[in-house]
Copies of this chain bind each other. A is one copy, B any other.
């Protein structure tokens, strides 16, 4: 659930690109947006941005760092007046780390300004970017989202919402997107419905956000999920009332949500696709206990991601659940660039073994997923050093073989553990455990949705496990280009 800077160095976690939040017609629009983004912080800790419109002018604030580092400051919120706002938290997949890449992005149109915020990734973003540059567009940064902005600016439609719909018709991939114009809040979700997006309301005013936890923090009511391929346009009318219009591409098939939202990304207290994430994770642990039982003294979660599955495993197996690993919450910011000596302490900066629960015991370690395996290796070593007599690893998701192109930052395929070793035994030996087991794909489907995978029409997208990509991958079909890398490296100090 959480991506701390030091772990990034090892590249042994997956990263979600973004979280979005928007609200229309509420007097506390920017404060509520800041709170919503705070609840979505686990979806991106690199940077956060807000745009509000006060009836006359748009206001934008962008900052590197956490929402709570900046957007609870009265002077910052005072610079974001108005009854409508959208916001964005970001971990970068495409685009270097730079304030220019921080969303929402903004464009001045002939009919007034428009700001957009986007969670996901386009599979034809690079192709579109090249076409736009050839046609005289000037790009400021490297994020895919800027492509949409140019498509909007160049659309021949008049109204901003028509231009928005026109623009997203050109993009392919996974996206949940919000747009803010002088009178409208627009929400859109890609035809497959890969990334989540929900609709709620507070005091009768519409809200859109990535997860329900962002509704909970402000006491807003969940209404429904935005459907795959749907565009919802909310507009403030001259009398102050708000109209809500939904259109949906008729050609779209059934939704296929990203399974990793359940495995790792979404907050456990969120309801995603109508299902409790916490309950799904406990069920993964339960299925795992059934698929891969083991005789042991304690079930120990790898915190915090593995905790719900560990509780499920413990309840299903009857082995006591214990906090055998204690997490240090005080990992500072400069741990991003520690000395080599400190870096060598690796996982111990964040985790420590609780010797009293480990020494002389047979330990079942439950983790949510394994990416490259380097962290697992260190944790097993730490548990052994604390005196465990046996260490059994149980992973609450299948092996990862393929990269993602829809907004999850995956390491190069050859660095994935599953691609480095030909057998489970070899992996187990590498990690140093006494046994190793992964949840089956079918077990995962049943834990999340209650039913086995429908191979003719899979209920979710599971391409990282199966290679079954739900869209074409246009950018992958062309040779790599330097255009994606902005040709100016800029420091605006």
Residue of B nearest to A303 (CB): B304
Question: Which residues in B have their C-beta under 8 angstroms from that of A108?
Answer: 133, 138-139, 483, 486-488
Residue A447 lies at the interface, judged by CB distance under 8 Å to chain B: no
Sample (10) of A-B pairs whose CB atoms are under 8 Å apart: A59-B489, A61-B491, A61-B492, A72-B332, A72-B337, A73-B338, A108-B133, A108-B139, A108-B488, A321-B321
A354 CB-CB contact with B under 8 Å = yes
* C-alpha gap A163/B45 in the complex (Å): 42
Residue in A153, A322, A334 with the greatest tally of chain B CB atoms within 10 Å = A334
Find chain B residues with CB under 8 A from A140 CB.
140
A244 at the binding interface (Cβ < 8 Å): no
Report chain B residues within 8 Å CB of A271.
Answer: 355-356
- Considering the chains assembled together, what is the distance between the CA atoms of A139 and B488 in angstroms? 18
Contact of A68 among B70, B76, B133, B349 (CB under 8 A): B349
Q: How far is the CB of A324 from chain B (nearest CB, A)?
A: 9
Q: Are B488 and A106 in contact (CB under 8 A)?
A: yes
* A134 part of interface (Cβ distance < 8 Å): yes
Interface secondary structure of A, over-half rule = mixed
- Could you mark each residue 213-245 of chain A with 1 if its beta carbon is under 8 Å from any beta carbon of chain B, else 0? 100111100000000000000000000000000
Q: What are the residues of chain B within 8 A of A194 when measuring CB–CB? A: none
A307 CB-CB contact with B under 8 Å = yes
Chain B residues contacting A134 (CB-CB under 8 Å) are: 110
Contact A2 B68, beta carbon cutoff 8 Å: no
Are B269 and A326 in contact, with the CB atoms below 8 A? Answer: yes
Chain B residue nearest to A483 in the complex (CB): B108
Supply 16 further A-B pairs (C-beta < 8 A) apart from A72-B338, A113-B487, A219-B385: A35-B349, A39-B352, A57-B489, A59-B490, A61-B492, A73-B334, A74-B339, A102-B492, A133-B153, A136-B137, A138-B149, A138-B150, A213-B352, A269-B326, A271-B355, A271-B356
The verdict on A395 contacting chain B, using a C-beta distance below 8 Å, is no
Decide yes or no whether A41 CB sits under 8 A from chain B. Answer: yes
Contacts A35-B345, A68-B332 given: A326-B267 contact, CB under 8 Å? yes
Known contacts: A58-B488, A483-B108. The answer to whether A353 contacts B153 by CB under 8 A is no
Give the most central of A115, A153, A329: most B CB within 10 Å.
A329
Judged by a CB distance under 8 angstroms, whether A296 is at the interface is no
The contact string, 1 if C-beta is below 8 Å from chain B, for chain A 456-493, is: 00000000000000000000000000010011111111
Tell me which of B267, B307, B320, B342 contacts A31 (CB under 8 A).
Answer: B342
* A residues whose Cβ falls under 8 Å from a Cβ of B: 2, 28, 31, 34-35, 38-39, 41-42, 45, 51, 57-70, 72-74, 76-77, 79, 99, 102, 106-110, 112-113, 115, 133-134, 136-140, 149-150, 153-155, 213, 216-219, 267-269, 271, 276, 278-279, 304, 307-308, 311, 315, 320-323, 326, 328-335, 337-339, 341-342, 345, 348-349, 352-357, 385, 483, 486-493
How far, in whole Å, are A333 and B267 apart by their CA atoms in the complex?
22
Q: Which residues of B contact A38 (CB under 8 A)?
A: 328, 330, 332, 349
One of B31, B68, B136 near A150 (C-beta < 8 A): B136
What's the Cα separation between A209 and B202 when bound, in Å?
A: 51
Residues in chain B near residue A66, CB distance under 8 A: 330, 332
- Kindly state the separation between the CA atoms of A190 and B261 in the bound complex, as whole angstroms: 53
A213–B325 Cα distance when bound, in Å, is 12
